A and B are shown apart, each in its own frame.
Chain A
């Protein structure tokens, strides 16, 4: 059969994703109607920059969630006759490969959709963990100053002076998985979220033991459960698990991002601690951690939310870089960075293999950047 033309390819790709469009339209339509009542999120619908950003991000999130239902092919299945097939070519069974086949005869379109899952599973979670670490260390550094600040800032600068790419080559090589380094780093870094929530509740409800014990128990149980599952891969319930590859990437990404978050939080804290409401809290006799977590942190949320958005985008780029160098991904995974690198090797003969994952990664990061820009504008309006 003749391969499809470009118009037909895009029309059919559009139809293949009908479920995604449906959910996207429902989600954004409802939000648009209710935008006046949705606070900061609703305000994003006031500018078209924010809407485009949201649409791009939601598109990939929904695609990642529904990928298994909309995939036309198994992303690992190899068709001997479809090696480097042009976009719109048909398999012997009469199915169409919309974006053609890659070097091993796998469907580029299916791998593209499947690849969104890895990115969207790791990037936001790793960024959130980095924020927990950065906040838990940045608040006391900015608040107390002196020796804590000097030591922590030196450590942060130490990590920041390290070229990212070199750090990844050292931390994400296959050999390092045989050493206890990734698990040790995970054990340290994953401890911070638990410490954060513990302090968060303790500083506020210290005088009300009846509420406090329940919250602390919840933190201990949920945190402990996730800690066992993620850091040591030994979840007693068997639900949470991270294979050594993913753990290695995850830990490295958190490690690289935390110092920057630390610096931002430290700077914001130093600025905010001179405000009158902090002085008022101090006069009331509030404890330092209460002031940091319940007075300073909520007032620093604007810049932090903007940075969170930008940082998820940056982490996506980092993950792509890792995949591009083949670090920490198995050779047959549909990871975008890896697909770009694979496609690049054969771009002299066929262009279509590297282009779709490249554009996909770009559109996701672009969406996050637009979202951050729009959030910044909204927060300036207040």
Chain B
């Protein structure tokens, strides 16, 4: 097991190295450097001035020399400077990650229980009316990306029926949640972003739970339990559920990379200043060091959740042994 994890960590480091190299290469292409100079320096610079600006700041040094000096900085804990926000990248990203962490926490709180409930209820009697209608809900949810459901929810809760809800209407923007004095999360400014994100991911997890539950319900030991005269409720809760939840665990873990795109869309849509917003700002202004940090963080999230899902799968399912 230890060797397995070490091997995976090795592959992870190799992947990160390759990906940062790609990001570094792409952000250092000639047109992107010009864009950086124009946005960070002066918009009305002539091509000669742009060249001078880049040379003065060391952007024209040899490629690998610059890449490895960045890498050296990272290894000693220095993530560089952001040209867009004019601050040190390390503490800045840490703050943004905390904000996104709060958003993700509430998304998970809403998404996972409702997805599991939906899937288990649909899968416990395969082919029934409940199954068909709940499956339709799940399919509908996977067909509604964040930028669509965000619009629909906002129209319904924040503008169209504003009068109906009176003082209780939800806020169509989460900008007030990330102020100067840290996070300020309230029911009014946070509900819409959270349900928007939860709605898209929920359908997929529910579908997987349903498939897994339906499969378990046809297993021999369930039939034995049923023939013994155990009540249906007992069978579902005591016998089926534990085995049926192995697959969804993996799916939830592998859902993280998808949620990342969702985070970017939702944060931009509702004006929430988190990690996704930082990523877009960095990409739009070609803020090289901030963008590199963003990609390191997101790739790490993807790979670590993959590793956790593999390890967790082994622990949950005693039939599988890692060589």
Q: Contact residues of A with B, CB < 8 Å?
A: 154, 157-158, 160-166, 169-171, 173-176, 178-179, 181, 313, 317, 320-321, 324-325, 337, 340-341, 343-344, 347-348, 351, 354-355, 358-359, 361-362, 365-366, 368-370, 373
B147 and A166 contacting across the interface, CB-CB below 8 Å: no
Check B151–A166 contact: CB distance below 8 A: no
Cα A364 to Cα B88 in complex, Å, equals 44
Residues of A within 8 A of B151 (CB): 340, 343-344, 347, 354-355, 358
| Chain A residue nearest in CB terms to B299 | A161
| Chain B interface bracket (under 10, 10 to 19, 20 to 34, 35 or more) | 35 or more
Q: Give bound CA distance, A154 to B151, whole Å.
A: 38
A368 CB contacts on chain B under 8 angstroms: 143
Q: Which of B15-23, B96-104, B187-195, B230-238 contacts A (4 or more CB under 8 A)?
A: B15-23
Nearest chain A CB to B70's CB is how many angstroms away? 17
The answer to whether B139 touches A373, judged by C-beta atoms less than 8 angstroms apart, is yes
Given the complex of chains A and B, what is the CA–CA distance between A228 and B6 in angstroms? 47
Does A178 contact B30, Cβ atoms closer than 8 Å? yes
For residue B283, CB closer than 8 A to chain A, the reply is yes
B residues near A (Cβ < 8 Å) are 11, 15, 18-19, 23, 26-27, 29-32, 34-35, 135, 139-140, 142-145, 147-148, 150-152, 154-155, 159-160, 172, 257, 260-261, 264-265, 268-269, 279-280, 283-284, 291, 294-295, 298-299, 302-303
Q: Is the interface of B mostly helix, strand, loop or mixed?
A: helix
Given contacts A161-B19, A163-B298, A355-B152, contact A369 B143 (CB under 8 A): yes
Given A347-B154, A354-B151, A373-B139 in contact, is the A173-B32 Cβ separation under 8 Å? Answer: yes
Min CB–CB distance B244 → chain A (angstroms): 19
Q: Which residues of B contact A165 (CB under 8 A)?
A: 260-261, 264-265, 279
User: B152, B172, B294, B303: which contacts A358 (Cβ < 8 A)?
Assistant: B152
Do B139 and A370 have beta carbons less than 8 Å apart? yes
- Distance in angstroms from B139 CB to nearest chain A CB is 5
Name the contact of B295 in the complex, choosing from A157, A163, A344, A348 (C-beta under 8 A): A163
A317–B23 contact, CB under 8 A? no
A-B pairs with beta carbons under 8 Å apart, 16 shown: A160-B257, A161-B299, A163-B298, A164-B261, A165-B261, A165-B265, A169-B283, A173-B32, A325-B280, A340-B148, A341-B147, A344-B150, A351-B159, A358-B147, A361-B145, A369-B139
Separation of A166 and B276 alpha carbons in the complex (Å)? 10
CA–CA, A201 to B83, complex, Å?
Answer: 55
A366 adjacent to B19 (CB under 8 Å)? no
Distance to closest chain A CB from B283 (angstroms): 4
Q: How far is the CB of A232 from chain B (nearest CB, A)?
A: 20
Give which listed residue, B30, B145, B260, contacts A320 with CB less than 8 A: B145
Tell me the bound Cα distance from A365 to B159 in angstroms. 26
Are B34 and A175 closer than 8 Å at their CB atoms?
A: yes
CA distance A131 to B302 in the complex (A): 24
A170 touches B27 (CB 8 A): yes
How far does the alpha carbon of A174 sit from the alpha carbon of B32 in the complex, in Å? Answer: 9
